[in-house]
Every structure is written in structure tokens, then in C-alpha cells.
Amino acid sequence: MKKYSLKACTVFMLLVMAGTSFALSADDFIPPVQEDDPAKRAELLAVKDDSAVSTEHDEALNADVTTAPTLQDAINKLIAKPHAGCQIAGVSGAAAYTLVSTGQGLYNPNHKNAIASRIEQRNAYVRAFMDAKGRMAAFLSEVPVQGLTKFDNTVNTLTDSERSLSNITTNLEERGREVIPPKVLKGYVTYSVFDDGKGKVFVTLVSSPKTRSISRTGEYGITAPSLKEGLNSVIAEIKKGLIPPVGGRIIEVPGTGETAWVGFGSSIVRYSPEEDVQAELELQAERVAELRAVDGLAGILFGDTVRMERNYDENTRQLKKNYDELQRTDPVTGGTVSEIREYENHVREMRNTLSSSEAIKSIRNNILPPGIMRHTEIDEDSYFAYGIAVYVPSASERVITIIQSMDNHIGGTPPEPDKPSPEPDPNLKMKRGPSGVINQDLD
């Protein structure tokens, strides 16, 4: 089932075809997540010349930097074995640096209710996406850190005419708090996503000198012969699950200078055996997917303000006991009597407790321009609703012109009436709207 909005059709008619090629340089890269063909995607993730990749410690950054003849090779080397963290890549001989930030999310793929697993899977992508942004913000920010390490050691001994006994109690307490202050992130692109099929999801974001320079108004994205082809490519990626269901992208047409900013979102369709209720649930999922797409568009146009806080608290207690000292009340005198109970076997105990917490906030707050194209679809199994929100400056300018003409008309002199409006044609009938099937492998 497909659903198209009138605004979507209007914007697509405004798109102009162009046929210009674009040459890549060493500091360019193609995000594998944008490639539809699995074989080509694997090729984009492969390191072309492993022998030319090197990792050296940069004293100025106090961090390791991985370089290669091409930025694509350097990035691919860093993410060959996915793991959470923010690393640095670069082109051999160049002074500019690229941040490669990977976040991780977890889900349970084995729920009896498949919809529950789908919800967790989508949430895992969101968590990994947020984690990657948080790690990039942490690398770029001055990080206030509070820490405490406390060690206590107590020794109690008892000696009398018959024996010598000892009790030793050791406590080690460690606490830490790290707060990443609000940091506006721009110029990052979703480079790759990976789901191992067992409940682990990884999302890698890349911020390079070129993406940061281009993204004064949003994320760096893809180039295409035309805006129409670029938009169709993004829609195909969303439907086939090739990109995380959060975030956005820019489409550029070098030949015409046109640009489109695309935000996308998704929502899980809940299930009901009643057809009318199911129809309402599908509408709900589409509305949520559309709202998330608009939110994603705002993020790439204006940037995300990211704040992260992490805490941990660990306590280790060790006991070595020869005896217990028991206090009881003498029923005759009412006084306190102390008794010693000696253990036949000396007691040795160890107990450790560890708690940790993490909170990442990503906030977008601004006003989107008029003329935003919104488009939603539901997959053939009614599991997912997908949405995109597209901003094309040329289309927005035309909408502004229409708004201005409407405002002028409202405040001006009403036009003189023309011929009477024709009566409705009684032969006109309601016809079925556009319908279709989305090809998507959900397994």
C-alpha cells in the first residue's frame, strides 16, 4: 500500500533533470549505507590497499590517527570490526582530520510477538544513533569529570589467655560522573549501519572537513544526476531498511546547483485483528513516522544540540573473620554482657556491587521554512510506516510567492465575479486512489 500527498506530487514535478558526472577526490567518500546493491555495498566497505593504511599517535591530539591514501580506506579500516567509540581518520600527508563515531544498540530478536522485536530493533537503531552522536560530542567538548576513590581497611584483634583472633574488613568505593555540556553537532553523515542478526546494532557517523564545510546548513549527503533520482534513491533505501530509521541526508545536483534536504523517520505498526482498528493503527504509525521525518529534517537543517551524562558507582567489601562479638542483656542484672563466638573455620567473604547510568539528549528547536514535502508509506506486511520530509529551496520560494499573493488578495479588493460556477456533474464518480506494493525483505 502506498500513500502520496498532493504536496509531494507538486514538489516532484518541480524537480529538474540534469546529467552531470562528479569526480571524487582522495578526501571524498561514499557512505556504503547509500548503496542499494549488497555486492557494491560490500565493495564500498572493503579496504582497497591495506598495506598503505597506518595508525600513529598524534601528540597534539593525544590520540591515535589512522591514515590511508583515501579517506574511504581509513574509515573502513577503523570500522572493520564494529565497536562503540569515536576515532580519528585522515588522508596520508594531509593535516585535516575526520571523526568516525560508532554507537551500539541492543534488542531481543526472539520475542514471541514479532512486533515487540520490531519495536526493540527500531529502538536499538535510535539508541546506536544517539550513542554515536554522544561520543562525537564528547570528543569535541571539554568534559567536566568528578571522581571519588575511597579505601578503608579495619583490623580488629582479640587476645586472651587462650587464643588470638583477628577480623579484617576492607572497603573500596569508586564513583565517577562525566557530563558532556550541550554541543551543537553539524556536518556528520550516516556512513554505515550493521545488524548482526543476534540483537546487536551498530551505527557509524562520519564528520570530515568537507562535510563540515558543506553542512553550514545541514548534513553532507549524496550527489545525483537530478533531485528526482536522488530522492528516489533515498526512498528506496528507507523502504529496504538500508539506513537507520532516524536522521537525514542532503542531495546535491552539481550540474544545476540544486540541493534538497531530506529527513526520514519510521514507526512500528501495531496490530489488531479488527479491520477498522487496524486501519486506525496504520494511520497512527504514518503520522508518527511523518513527525519523526520532520524532526530529522530540522536536525540536518539546524543541527542537533547533544548533551550526555554518565555515572557509575562501585563498592567492594572483603571480610576475613575469626570471631563475632555478641552483645546481649543479662536478665538478672540488666547489664550488657559481651560474648565471643569463635568460628571453627575462618570466614572469608567478598561482595561487589556496581551500578551505572547513561543519559543522552539530542534537541532540535527551530522553524522550518514553508513548502516542506511530506511522504509516507507502509510496507506490504504492515509492520513499518516510513516517512520522509523534503526541503527544496526553489520549491519553498514558490510557496512563499503563493503565500504572498494570497495575503495580498485577502487585504485587497475582491475580484469581480466571472461566469457562474457550473453545477456538479452527476456522472462524476469517486475513484480509488493510488495503490501499490513495496518490495522489502523484512527477514
Q: pLDDT tens digit string along 321-375? A: 988 888 777 676 666 767 788 887 888 899 999 999 988 777 777 788 887 888 8
The Cα 388–Cα 233 span in angstroms is 12
Residue 413 is given by DSSP the state: P
Local structure of 17: helix, strand or coil: coil
| Cell (9 digits) for 323 | 570471631
**Using one digit for the tens of pLDDT, what is the confidence trace for 16-56?**
222 223 334 566 777 777 676 788 888 888 898 889 999 99
| pLDDT score for 335 | 67
C-alpha closest to that of 214 among 189, 192, 244: 189
Mean pLDDT score of the chain, rounded to an integer? 75
- Confidence band, pLDDT 50/70/90 cuts, at residue 153: very high
| pLDDT score for 391 | 85
On the question of pLDDT at 217 being above 50, the answer is: no
| pLDDT score for 97 | 87
3-state secondary structure 19-82: CCCCCCCCCCCCCHHHCCCHHHHHHHHCCCCHHHCEEEEECCCCEEEEEECCHHHHHHHHCCCC
Query: Strands, DSSP E only, in 293-428?
Result: 304-329, 336-363, 373-378, 384-391
Query: How far are the Cα atoms of 170, 401, 410 from residue 415, in angstroms, in the given order?
Result: 91, 19, 11
The Cα 384–Cα 268 span in angstroms is 5
| pLDDT score for 265 | 84
The Cα 261–Cα 280 span in angstroms is 30
On the question of pLDDT at 440 being above 50, the answer is: no
The Cα 180–Cα 61 span in angstroms is 18
The Cα 81–Cα 73 span in angstroms is 14
On the question of pLDDT at 283 being above 90, the answer is: yes
The residue ranges of every structural domain in the chain are 1-20+226-235+243-303+366-408, 147-176+313-356
Q: Which residue has the cell 514507526?
A: 267
| pLDDT score for 116 | 86
The region of weakest confidence among 104-113, 184-193, 283-292 is 184-193
Quote the pTM value: 0.64
Q: Is the separation of the CB atoms in 95 and 361 below 8 Å? A: no
The Cα 417–Cα 341 span in angstroms is 108
